[in-house]
Amino acid sequence: MRAALSAQARQKAGSRILRRETGLVSKVLLYGVLLAFAVMTLFPLAWLVISSFKTTQAFQLDPLGLPKRWYVANYPQAWRIGKFGTLLANSLLYTSVSTAAVILLASAAGFAFAKLKSRWTPVLHGTFVMGILLTIQSIMVPLFLVANMANLYNTRLGVLIVYTGISLPIPVYLFTAYIRGIPDAVVESARVDGAGYLTIFRRIILPMTRPVAVTVAILNIASIWNEFMLINILVSDDRLKSLPVGILKFSGALSSDYGKQFAALVIGLLPMVTFYLIFRKQITQGVSAGAVKG
C-alpha cells in the first residue's frame, strides 16, 4: 500500500519534471522556428540593401561582406535609367484613382443591395460574391483582346477601367454586409423627412461606412500598387508603365549591372514596406476581413 503510494508520488513528481523539461524543449523549438522565419525575412533584405551600396565590381569581388566604400551613386543612376519619376507618378495615379472609384462604386452598389428592394439583388450580389474566387489570371489573354478591340490598349483609361472592375467583388461584399447591419429605421426616418435615396446614400450612409472604406482602401492600395500581370499586357508604352513593370527591366537587359539592379529593387521595396510599417494593424485586420469570407 505504502509502496504503491510512493510510486504514484514518484510518478507525479517525475511527470512534473518531465513537463517542465518538455516545456523548455518546446520553447527552444518554438523560438527556433520563429527566429528562423525572422532571419529568413531580414537576411535577404539586408543583403539587398547592403549590396545596393556597392559598385558592380566590388559586388563581384565580395558578394556577402559590407562595402569598403559606401557607393551611393547607384541610386541616382538607377532612378534615371529606370525613369522612376514617371513610374512612381503612374503608380500613384493608378492606385489612387482606382481605389477612389472602387470605394464609390462598391458603396453605392452595397447600399442598393442592402437597403433597396429589388428582385435582382440575389443574382447581382451573387455575381460579385462568386467573383471573389474567380481568378483574374485565367482571363488575362481575353482581357487583352477585349481591351484591344475597345481601343483601350496602351491608354491610362484602359488600365484604370480594368483595375477598378477587377477589384470590385470583395469591396461590394464588404460594403453590402456592413450596410445591412445599419438599422432600416435610419433610412426610413430620413425618407419620412422627405430625403431622396441618393441624398440618403451621400449624406447618411456613406459617412457611416467609414470603417469599411478604410479596409477596402488598404486592401486595394496594396494589391493595385503591386499589380504586374495586367499592366504588363495592357500597356507597352514606357510612359504609361507602373513601378513593378519598370523594375522588371533591371532583371533583363540590365541584370549584369548588379549595383544598379539592387538599388532599383530597394527603390521598389521602400513604398510598400513604409506603408506596411505605418498601417500594420489595419492591413492585418483588412486581410483577415477580406479573406475569411472566401
279 and 218 in contact (C-beta within 8 Å)? Answer: yes
Contact range with another protein by CB under 8 A, out of 66-74, 75-83, 209-217, 283-291: 283-291
Asked if 179 touches another protein (CB under 8 A), the answer is no
98-127 residues in contact with another protein (CB under 8 A) are: 105-106, 108-109, 111-113, 116-118, 120, 124, 127
Asked if 4 touches another protein (CB under 8 A), the answer is no
1, 185, 253, 292: residue in contact with another protein (rule CB under 8 A): 292
227 and 165 in contact (C-beta within 8 Å)? Answer: no
53, 75, 173, 262: residue in contact with another protein (rule CB under 8 A): 262
- What are the contacts of 90-96 at 24+ separation with CB within 8 A? 90/156, 90/240, 90/241, 90/242, 90/243, 91/225, 91/242, 91/243, 91/271, 93/156, 94/156, 94/159, 94/160, 94/163, 94/224, 94/227, 94/231, 94/242, 95/220, 95/221, 95/224, 95/225
Asked if 63 touches another protein (CB under 8 A), the answer is yes
Q: Tell me the per-residue interface mask from 65 to 104 with another protein, x by CB under 8 A, - otherwise.
A: ----------------------------------------
- CB closer to another protein, 2 vs 117: 117
Question: Three cell numbers at 108?
Answer: 453605392
The CB-of-10 to another protein minimum distance in angstroms stands at: 20
